Structures are given as structure tokens and as C-alpha cells.
Amino acid sequence: MPLFLKDAEAASLVDMKAVIAALEAAFLKQAHSEAFNLPRQRLNKNETRLNFMLAGDMTLNRRAIRAYGSLGSSVSHIFLYGSEGLLAVIESRTLSSLRTGAASGVAAKYLAAPDARIVGIVGAGKQARFQIAALQAVRPLEEVRVFARTRAPLEEFCARMSSQLALPVVPAASGEAAAKGADIVVAATTAKEPVFFADWIKPGACVIGIGANNPGWRELDAAIITARRSSWPTTRIRHGSNPATSRRPRAPAPLTGRSSSRSPESSPIRPS
């Protein structure tokens, strides 16, 4: 019989560093045609909104479908398959946020300066929590500046994250104030117009945009993309060498279970 894991149970089995290592290994496998990742498919009709994501690892003989959206109530599940058939059904709200954060962690590991310490973020929602945790897992952060349009939730977010991660997370007066002088800049919004502009970004900063997953959405000014396109270190990414260590990353050891007694609100975003 397939295993069924509720969201808190699944989240208790991993932490951010484990997810970053697993995702990095998956990207390397994909580069060597040992794994695949198909683009998101969307079904929107009347009151139904359902999105599908499909990926697989040929070396492990595993395939997975993630389905999420709204069918009158919010749904988010991963269906995991192997040669034996359906292996597990996993509630995936927290795992999805961990995976999104971990992708930024992998990006920052290769693209951010080894001594990057200041992060500027626009957005103070669920995804922003995991972005900060992922960046803290790969860089020696000293301060995170966050801007959001509504002040009270922003201040609550900063206080909670400062406590959870033992890291100064402070409200910024504007997106520009968050970005100015930052070593890593993150847009974690559902904005349809840019929230960061090229003249706010210091030379050499790593810029990450995570929220614009629709063709009509755009979190970053076009000049940010064109200004950096010629300097992307594609050779390092392709061969897996880490600018900070100059070593090829190894595939992680299998994930091991951890006690589920930790709070699902705090434990998944711990960097280690």
C-alpha cells in the first residue's frame, strides 16, 4: 500500500541544507541527461485551478507528479512512482516552499560572492521565509533587509525571522532601500511589474527572482537581465565547480528521518 505523509510529517524529515544538496545533485543529473524536469502545466476553467509539475530521476528509477491549486479548497500533493507502481502520496505545501528556497540557495552558492553578507528582499510572505533560510545556509549572512507594502505584517515577519534564524532581519523603507548595497537581491512577490531596477543594484550583486511564473508577470527590470547576461559564469555551473571552494559538488547521502516533534512552523526553514 502506498505511503501517505501529511505536510508536517514530510517537513520533519528534511532541513534546508539537505534539500539544497538534493536539488543540486538533481540539477547535475539533469545536465548529464540522468534526470528530467518538465515545464509546469496549468488547468484553469471556471472555479478550477490546477497546476501540474513532472520530474524524474532515471538513476533512482523514480518519477513524481506534483499537483496543486484549488478545486473548491486548496490542494497540494506529490505522487511518487517507482517500478513497483505508486510509492507515496505526500502533502507538499512545505516541501514546495523548501524546494523553491533551495533553488535560490543553489544559485547563490555559484553566483553570489563567497563573502556575500547583506541580502535585500522585496516580499514578506511564505516564500520569503524560505529564501532567507536558504541563503543563510550557503553564505555567512550578517543582515537581511526586507520591504513589503504593508508595514505591520512586515515588522512581524522581520521579528519572527530574526528570532528563528538568529540573524538581523530588518524592515526597509522601500525596495530601493532594501537593494542598495546588498550582495544578494531577491524578489519574492506576485508582482506583474518590476519591484527592482538596475540602477538600484550594485555591481557584482547576485539577483534572484522567484515569483514571476506566468508569462505576464515581471519582478525584475529588463535592464537587470540584459546588464548581467554577458557575465553569467555558465562554465562553472555546467561543470559544477564551486567558486567558493573550487571543488565539484558530490551527490548527497540519502536523507535520513528526523524526529517529528519539532514545530512544522519553524523546523523546515532551519539552515542546518
Residue where the block lists cell 553570489: 112
What integer pLDDT is reported at residue 214 of this predicted model? 75
Within 10 A of 239 (CB to CB), how many other CB atoms are there? 10
Do 3-96 and 100-239 show the same overall fold? no
What integer pLDDT is reported at residue 208 of this predicted model? 94
What integer pLDDT is reported at residue 228 of this predicted model? 57
**Could you tell me the fold of the domain covering 3-96?**
ornithine cyclodeaminase, domain 1 (3.30.1780)
Encode pLDDT of 226-244 as tens digits: 875 544 443 333 334 444 4
Architecture of the domain whose range is 100-239: 3-Layer(aba) Sandwich (3.40)
What integer pLDDT is reported at residue 246 of this predicted model? 39
Q: Kindly calculate the radius of gyration of the chain based on its CA atoms and give it in whole angstroms.
A: 19
What is the residue extent of each domain of the chain? 3-96, 100-239
Grid coordinates of 117:
553578507
Residues 6 or more apart in contact with residue 224 via CB below 8 angstroms: 196, 197, 198, 201, 207
Q: How does 79-116 read in b/e, with b if 16+ C-beta sit within 10 Å?
A: bbbeeeeebbebbbbbbbbbbbbbbbbbbbbbbbeeeb
Encode pLDDT of 173-207 as tens digits: 999 999 999 999 999 998 888 999 999 999 999 99
What integer pLDDT is reported at residue 241 of this predicted model? 42
Contact (Cβ atoms closer than 8 angstroms) between residue 59 and residue 26: no
CA distance linking residue 189 with residue 212, whole number of Å:
7
Those residues of the chain that have pLDDT short of 50 are 230-267, 270-272
What integer pLDDT is reported at residue 45 of this predicted model? 81
∠ Cα 131 134 140 (to 5°): 115
Encode pLDDT of 144-159 as tens digits: 999 999 999 999 999 9
Closest by CA to 90, choosing from 64, 69, 72, is 64
CA distance linking residue 172 with residue 227, whole number of Å:
25
SS3 74: strand
